[in-house]
C-alpha cells in the first residue's frame, strides 16, 4: 500500500515544476540569502531594507526576474529575488503585470520599491546585460557580477552602463558587486556605475570596478545638480581611465577605497560638488583628486589618505588637481556612524572583502 505524500512534498514538487517552466523558484526560508544591513547614506532618509519582510523567489533567467517583479500584488510589495547562473539577452524578455514595468534586454527595476536582488549559489553573472533602476526607492543589489554592457555595437543594453540609476530614485544600496568592462567608449562601453536626474541616498560598498574608460558619475551634465548623499566605501577601482567617480553637485563621502591605475583622473569633484575623502589608498595613478575638464569648480575635504606613486598635472584653466599636497577646501558633515580602517590597511582589507562571490565579507578592523 502506497503512503500518501505529505502536503509539504506536494508543494515542493509543484514549486520545482514551476521552476523548470519559468526559471523561478520560491525559496524555503532557510535558503534565503543574508543581506546584512545597509551602510552609509543609504541608512538615511528612512533607511534601505529592500525586500525584507516579503517572500523570496529564486531566478535563473532575466525573464524570471521580471516575472517575480510582475507577479507581486503591487509595485511596492516586498520581494527578495535570489539569482543564480548567467543572465543574458537570450533569457531576458519583457514581462507585464501589476508589479512591474519591464523591457527586453535589460533588468528593469522601474517604478518599483522594496526589492532585493541578490546573487546566490555558485554566483550570478549578468553578461552584457545591465541593471537599470529608475523612478524607484528602497532597492538592494548585492553579490552579482555585471560585465561588458555596451551602448554601441552588439548587443546593447542599458545605455552601456553596468548599473544605471536615474530619475527620482531614493535609497539604494549596491553591495559586494563586480562591475567590469573590456575597454572604453571607443569599444562601445559607457559607465560602470552612473547616477543622475535626482538620485539620492545611495551607497556603493565592497565592490570592484575595473577595466573601463569610465568608472561612474553623479549627474549627467553641469546643470544636473539634484543628486547627492552618496557613499562609496571599501571599493576597488582598478584600471579606470576617469570618473572614479565624477561628481556634479551634491555631497559624496568616499572612504577606505583602494584605487589602482587611475590612468587619466580619479575623483573629479566639479560643478559645486563637495566630497569628503577619508583614509583611501591611491596607487600607481594620475590626478586622483581635483576638478578636471571644466572651469566649474568642485570641493573636497581630505584626511588620512595615502598617495603611493601618484603623479599630478600642472594646474590649468580646466584642470585643478588637488595635489601634489592635497589640502581641504571645504568641510562636510557626515550624519551616520562609520568606522574608518587605517589607510595602510585598505589594500589588504579590500582585497579580501570586495567583489561578488566573496561570502559578503566585511572589514573586521584588522589588516
Dist CA 319 CA 262 (whole Å): 16
- For this structure, is 236 an active site residue? no
Q: For all residues of the chain together, what is the average pLDDT?
A: 92
196 domain-assigned: yes
In DSSP notation, 249-289 reads SSEEEEES-EEEEE-S-SEEEETT-EEEEES-EEEEEE--E
pLDDT digits (tens, 9 = 90+) for 299-317: 999 999 999 999 999 999 8
366 part of a folded domain: no
Mean pLDDT of the region 264-285: 98
Instruction: Judge whether 329 lies within some domain.
Output: yes
Sequence-distant (6+) residues with CB within 8 A of 314 are none
| Rounded CA separation 321/269 (Å) | 10
Residues of the domain holding 150: 20-353
Residue-wise pLDDT for 34-65, tens only, equals: 578 999 999 999 999 999 999 999 999 999 99
Give pLDDT, residue 23. 59
Catalytic residue among 72, 243, 270, 320: 243
Element (H, E) at 18: helix 7-22
- What is the tens place of the pLDDT at every residue in 74-126? 999 999 999 999 999 999 999 999 899 999 999 999 999 999 999 999 999 99
Q: Is residue 150, in this structure, part of any structural domain at all?
A: yes
Q: Are 64 and 22 in contact (CB under 8 A)?
A: yes
The answer to whether residue 160 sits within a structural domain is: yes
Give CA angle at 36 (177, 64), nearest 5°: 55
Q: Given a cut of 60, is residue 4 above it in pLDDT?
A: no
Instruction: Give the cell for residue 327.
Output: 589640502
The span from the CA of 285 to the CA of 261, in Å, is: 5
Which CATH number characterizes residue 131's domain? 2.160.20.10
- The closest alpha carbon to 159, from 194, 126, 127, belongs to 194
Domain count, the chain: 1
Reply yes or no on whether the pLDDT at 3 is more than 50.
no
Confidence band of 332 (pLDDT split at 50, 70, 90): very high
Instruction: Tell me, yes or no, whether 58 lies in a domain.
Output: yes
Amino acid at each position: 500500500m502506497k503512503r500518501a505524500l505529505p502536503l509539504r512534498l506536494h508543494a515542493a514538487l509543484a514549486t520545482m515544476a514551476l521552476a523548470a517552466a519559468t526559471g523561478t523558484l520560491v525559496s524555503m526560508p532557510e535558503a534565503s540569502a543574508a543581506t546584512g544591513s545597509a551602510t552609509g547614506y543609504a541608512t538615511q532618509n528612512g533607511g534601505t531594507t529592500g525586500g525584507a519582510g516579503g517572500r523570496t523567489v529564486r531566478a535563473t533567467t532575466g525573464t524570471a526576474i521580471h516575472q517575480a517583479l510582475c507577479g507581486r500584488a503591487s509595485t511596492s510589495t516586498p520581494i527578495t529575488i535570489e539569482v543564480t547562473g548567467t543572465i543574458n539577452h537570450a533569457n531576458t524578455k519583457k514581462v507585464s503585470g501589476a508589479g512591474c514595468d519591464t523591457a527586453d534586454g535589460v533588468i528593469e527595476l522601474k517604478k518599483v520599491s522594496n526589492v532585493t536582488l541578490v546573487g546566490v549559489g555558485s554566483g550570478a553573472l549578468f553578461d552584457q546585460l545591465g541593471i537599470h533602476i529608475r523612478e524607484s526607492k528602497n532597492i538592494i543589489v548585492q553579490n552579482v557580477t555585471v560585465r561588458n554592457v555596451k551602448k554601441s555595437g552588439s548587443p546593447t543594453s542599458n545605455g552601456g552602463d553596468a548599473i544605471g540609476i536615474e530619475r527620482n530614485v531614493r535609497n539604494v544600496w549596491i553591495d559586494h558587486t563586480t562591475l567590469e568592462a573590456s575597454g572604453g567608449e571607443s569599444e562601445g562601453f559607457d559607465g560602470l556605475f552612473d547616477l543622475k536626474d535626482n538620485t539620492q541616498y545611495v551607497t556603493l560598498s565592497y565592490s570592484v570596478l575595473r577595466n573601463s574608460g569610465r568608472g561612474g558619475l553623479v549627474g549627467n551634465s553641469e546643470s544636473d545638480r539634484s543628486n547627492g548623499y552618496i557613499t562609496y566605501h571599501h571599493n576597488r577601482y582598478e584600471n579606470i581611465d576617469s570618473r572614479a567617480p565624477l561628481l556634479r553637485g551634491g555631497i559624496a563621502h568616499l572612504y577606505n577605497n583602494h584605487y589602482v591605475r587611475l590612468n587619466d583622473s580619479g575623483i573629479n569633484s566639479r560643478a559645486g560638488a563637495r566630497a569628503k575623502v577619508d583614509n583611501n589608498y591611491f596607487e600607481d595613478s594620475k590626478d586622483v583628486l581635483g576638478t578636471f575638464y571644466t572651469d566649474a569648480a568642485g570641493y573636497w575635504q581630505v584626511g588620512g589618505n595615502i598617495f603611493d606613486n601618484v603623479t599630478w598635472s600642472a594646474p590649468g584653466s580646466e584642470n585643478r588637481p588637488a595635489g601634489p599636497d592635497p589640502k581641504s577646501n571645504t568641510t562636510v558633515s557626515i550624519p551616520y556612524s562609520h568606522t574608518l580602517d587605517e589607510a595602510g590597511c585598505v589594500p589588504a582589507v579590500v582585497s579580501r572583502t570586495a567583489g561578488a562571490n566573496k561570502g559578503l565579507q566585511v572589514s573586521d578592523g584588522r589588516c
